[in-house]
Amino acid sequence: MTLRAAVLGHPISHSKSPALHRAAYAYLGVDFTYTAIDVTEAALPGFMRQVRDEAGGGWRGLSVTMPLKSAMVAEVDEVRGVARVLGVVNTVAFEPAGPDSGGQTRLVGYNTDVAGIVNALRHAGAASAPTAAVLGGGGTAAAAIAALKELGAVSADVFVRDVGRAAEARAASAAVGLPVQVLPLAGAAAAVAAADVVISSLPPRAADALAGELAAELGEESSARPGVLLDVAYDPWPSRIAAAWQESGGFVVPGLEMLIYQAVEQVRHFTGLGETMPAGVIDVMCDAVGAPRRVF
């Protein structure tokens, strides 16, 4: 039987997840289809009921992107690991429910975004125990806060367009024990420029105004030189903030890097290979999206 997986989100046509996953399954020699499905938050419960009805039809996994990461928590049978701590799910694995289940499949939620961010920043040589800033306050920002905790940060500034709408970031701060200060995005340039690590979880073009402020802050007369910026928005690329950062001498990590590393973890869950998955999988995934192969 052909096995099935998909990425869900809205909008979703730009997603590079199908290219990454298809390359991995071809390399592994497993019979998997992987598609992109446009699903709004309002339509998610109905879609998941349909998936459960088809669970015997080969479903093995779902990748979950904006705006569904928090809503997916209510649609699975169990949430494990950091996803349970954060209340944010970007991965759903279809797992056998055990001998007493009557053959039922159990839907288990995970979060591989945290591993994706940590590995992307470590691959870029980000400082340990960095001073840190996060742009945005939603589900990906929550993963960013958990990742910064793992990287040794002692606190982080979280810059949002509306300080009254950063519940997920605040919850993540409390859950992982990393103190955050939630501040308005407008006027954030000076603090952002001074951070060792900046993670932008904003949608495409949402940081364009800040990019102009950063360019002025980091102009030729400034002695400040930015650290590492991870911009999770990878289409269009380079984003304005990434271009401004790089032109000022900072190091930019494309969101594609995070996407690759989190997708590797998803393939482990969907195939059941875990730590036995061959190391060469990440190379073919990089090839599929035009990213440099890893050098370890």
Cα–Cα distance between 197 and 202 in angstroms, integer? 15
Please state, in angstroms and rounded to a whole number, the distance separating the CA atoms of residues 283 and 291: 9
- Pairwise CA distance, residues 56 & 36, whole Å: 20
Contact indicator for 286, 293 with CB cutoff of 8 Å: yes
Q: Are strands 32-38 and 59-64 parallel, antiparallel or unpaired?
A: unpaired
Angle ∠(170,171,176) on CA atoms, nearest 5: 105
Give strand pairing partners of 132.
Answer: 197
69 is catalytic: yes
Q: Which segments of the chain does DSSP mark as H helices, in order?
A: 17-28, 44-53, 82-86, 113-123, 139-150, 167-176, 189-194, 208-217, 240-247, 255-271, 281-288
Amino acid in position 202: L
Give the pair of three-digit tokens for residue 105.
């499949």
**Separation between Cα atoms, residue 185 and residue 161, nearest integer Å:** 5
Cβ count near 249 (within 10 Å): 11
CB neighbour class for 282 (10 Å; exposed up to 12, middle 13-18, buried from 19): buried
Residue among 69, 149, 268, 269 flagged as catalytic = 69
Round to whole Å and give the CA distance between 224 and 240.
19
Q: Which residues are catalytic?
A: 69
